[in-house]
């Protein structure tokens, strides 16, 4: 009799735990723990999603419970429906080799994976900080794989555009930048300092060794051309750069955007013939008000609009703090643009929450983002 009771309660608890996982996976609420198919919170942050052969792949930073450096690498999950995600482990692993660019303990952030139709390869770009050097290295890294789940092969990391000026900078502007001297400016944020930044003071400072590259995204335009958009010049100015056809290098064509604007976490999409760029400000892990810009060409000029985030959130975080989140990517679900954001938990980065919100348009065609509890799924 006793044996039967133990057996029955075992069955019952198995059933309960199975239905709990299923229920949690099915009723995932924005901003709360999001269990994968094993029941663990999805540990893929600052990343992106691609669709390949009837499955979605989600790449992101696999964060340890404590600390800000990368122990394992870049995670990959797959899903048939954008809701139920299976963990496939680490797509690009840190190296155990001392001195390697991606040695365990480095910082790998904001990975973006894109599929190259011509080479049939999956290409990953990410922000890399070298082990033990905080955020001073400010490099971009490239990796490649034959399959979406990896393993990705690390190719190289670099500071970008060494010795090259933006393609649209005129001779006179280059000469003005060459007259600046960043070492003279100890006090930031004065009107005089700002003028020097706009002239290209940090572009000139880093001309020889290459430009800084931190928060970043990759955008594939409708003609298949790829662009790398990154926070550069001490996070003050964005660089927009064209990638080669294999997505593994720069063509050399690049421009600066929004000098001195302190835009981080760039996310971009196109609606009709308008490019929309949604960024965050620069306040570490703490949320701030999003900024939105539009342009008719990827090369700008960019026009600023108010933040697209409006209304109330059920996590009580205001729209002017981006509902407590920071953007990472905009993917299209059918034809709806959906913004992926992270609600960072700096004490336990692995427990940072996910927030996915559809982008709607007002009567003037301007993007609007409202809180909704349900994640947008097919
Ligand atoms: C803000 C960036 O957007 C994040 O990716 C990360 O680098 C944090 N800063 C670190 O403070």
From the alpha carbon of 282, which atom of ligand 1 is closest? Answer: 1
Kindly indicate the confidence band of residue 133, based on its pLDDT and cuts at 50, 70 and 90. Answer: very high
Contact 44, 111 (CB under 8 A): no
Q: Which atom of ligand 1 is nearest to the CA of 280?
A: 3
- pLDDT tens profile 289-339: 999 999 999 999 999 999 999 999 999 999 999 999 999 999 999 899 999
Tokens linked to 219: 């955008």
Give 89-94 contacts, CB < 8 A, sequence gap 24+.
Answer: 90/62, 90/150, 90/151, 91/59, 91/124, 91/145, 91/149, 91/150, 91/151, 91/152, 92/124, 92/126, 92/143, 92/150, 92/151, 92/152, 92/154, 93/151, 94/70
pLDDT tens for residues 238-257?
999 999 999 999 999 999 99
Q: What is the mean pLDDT of the chain?
A: 94
Instruction: Among 109, 128, 266, say which to mutate for ligand 1: greatest number of ligand atoms within 8 Å of CB.
Output: 109
What gap in Å lies between CA 108 and CA 265, rounded to an integer? 14
pTM: 0.93
Q: How far is the CA of 183 from the centre of ligand 1 (A)?
A: 25
pLDDT of residue 118: 96
- How do residues 45-81 score in pLDDT, each as one tens digit? 999 999 999 999 999 999 999 999 999 999 999 999 9
Q: What is the pLDDT of residue 2?
A: 53
CA of 285 to the centre of ligand 1 (A): 6
Q: Which of 61, 74, 264, 344 to mutate to test the pocket of ligand 1 (most atoms within 8 A of CB)?
A: 264
Q: Relative to the CA of 265, which ligand 1 atom is closest?
A: 3
């Amino acid at each position: 009799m006793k044996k039967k009771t133990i057996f029955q309660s075992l069955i019952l608890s198995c059933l309960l735990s199975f239905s709990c996982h299923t229920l949690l996976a099915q009723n995932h609420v924005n901003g709360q723990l999001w269990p994968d198919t094993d029941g663990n919170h999805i540990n893929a942050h600052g990343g992106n999603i691609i669709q390949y052969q009837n499955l979605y792949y989600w790449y992101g930073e696999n964060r340890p419970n404590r600390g800000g450096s990368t122990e394992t690498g870049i995670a990959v999950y797959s899903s048939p429906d954008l809701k139920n995600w299976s963990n496939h482990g680490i797509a690009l692993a840190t190296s155990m080799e001392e001195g390697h660019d991606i040695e365990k303990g480095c910082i790998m952030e904001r990975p973006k994976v894109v599929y190259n139709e011509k080479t049939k390869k999956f290409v990953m770009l990410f922000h890399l900080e070298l082990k033990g050097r905080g955020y001073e290295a400010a490099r971009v890294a490239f990796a490649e794989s034959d399959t979406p789940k990896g393993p990705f092969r690390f190719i190289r990391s670099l500071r970008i555009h060494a010795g090259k000026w933006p393609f649209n900078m005129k001779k006179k502007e280059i000469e003005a930048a060459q007259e600046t001297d960043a070492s003279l400016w100890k006090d930031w944020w004065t009107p005089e300092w700002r003028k020097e930044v706009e002239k290209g003071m940090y572009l000139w400072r880093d001309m020889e060794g290459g430009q800084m590259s931190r928060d970043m995204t990759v955008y594939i335009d409708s003609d298949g051309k790829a662009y790398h958009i990154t926070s550069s010049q001490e996070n003050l100015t964005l660089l927009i750069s064209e990638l080669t056809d294999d997505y593994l290098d720069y063509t050399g064509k690049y421009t600066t955007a929004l000098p001195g604007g302190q835009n981080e976490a760039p996310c971009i999409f196109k609606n009709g013939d308008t490019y929309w760029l949604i960024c965050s400000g620069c306040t570490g892990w703490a949320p701030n008000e999003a900024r939105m810009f539009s342009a008719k060409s990827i090369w700008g000029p960019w026009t600023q609009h108010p933040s697209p985030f409006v209304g109330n959130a059920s996590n009580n975080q205001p729209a002017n703090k981006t509902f407590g989140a920071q953007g990472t990517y905009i993917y299209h679900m059918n034809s709806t643009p959906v913004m992926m954001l992270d609600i960072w938990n700096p004490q336990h980065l692995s427990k940072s929450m996910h927030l996915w919100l559809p982008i709607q348009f007002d009567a003037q065609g301007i993007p609007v983002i409202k809180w909704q509890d349900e994640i947008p799924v097919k």
